[in-house]
């Protein structure tokens, strides 16, 4: 399964994008600010690139969540529900709608995405996320 995230709106508070699943537009995303200088812990979007994704237990959320592997300078980057940059700490949030520096209906978007990711993982498919 191939996930593609296109970053569309970069503000001083957050980064809004669109996520496609296997080439089909799926939902909105929200990340921390894209920075060109030094990383600010918990307040910086991850670098552009392509990352393998695994479904693993999150110690913080105490449930299985998608984990991005081998993100330079970051650990524990996940895709999970949330609405604003205050909820991200470097992770990627998903939602069905968006407004200024926030996304909406995050749990519904996450549940739909997770169902697809789990089905792919159960079939033994590799999952990757490309960020541009």
Q: Can you give the C-alpha Rg of the chain in angstroms?
A: 13
CA 17 to chain centre: 10
Q: Are 79 and 30 in contact (CB under 8 A)?
A: no
Distance CA 125, CA 37 (A): 36
| CA distance to 4, 46, 69, 99, 112, per residue, from 50 (Å) | 9, 11, 10, 27, 22
Distance CA 1, CA 120 (A): 7
Domain count, the chain: 1
SS3 (DSSP) at 38 = coil
pLDDT at 37: 77
Mean pLDDT lowest among 31-40, 65-74, 89-98, 120-129: 31-40
pLDDT at 38: 78
64-116 pLDDT, tens digit each: 999 999 999 899 999 999 999 999 989 999 999 999 899 999 999 999 999 99
Distance CA 63, CA 79 (A): 12
For the segment 33-43, the average pLDDT, to the nearest whole number, is: 85
pLDDT at 44: 92
pLDDT at 39: 83
pLDDT at 41: 83
Range of the domain at 99: 2-131
Distance CA 128, CA 106 (A): 21
pLDDT at 34: 93
């Amino acid at each position: 399964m191939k996930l593609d995230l296109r970053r569309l709106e970069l503000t001083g508070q957050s980064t809004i994008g669109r996520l496609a699943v296997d080439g089909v537009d799926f939902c909105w995303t929200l990340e921390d600010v894209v920075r060109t200088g030094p990383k600010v812990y918990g307040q910086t979007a991850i670098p552009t690139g392509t990352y393998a994704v695994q479904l693993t237990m999150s110690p913080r959320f105490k449930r299985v969540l998608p984990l991005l592997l081998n993100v330079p300078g970051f650990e524990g980057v996940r895709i999970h529900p949330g609405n604003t940059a205050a909820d991200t700490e470097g992770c990627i949030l998903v939602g069905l709608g968006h407004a200024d520096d926030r996304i909406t209906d995050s749990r519904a978007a996450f549940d739909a995405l997770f169902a697809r990711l789990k089905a792919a993982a159960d079939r033994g498919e590799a999952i990757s996320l490309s960020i541009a």
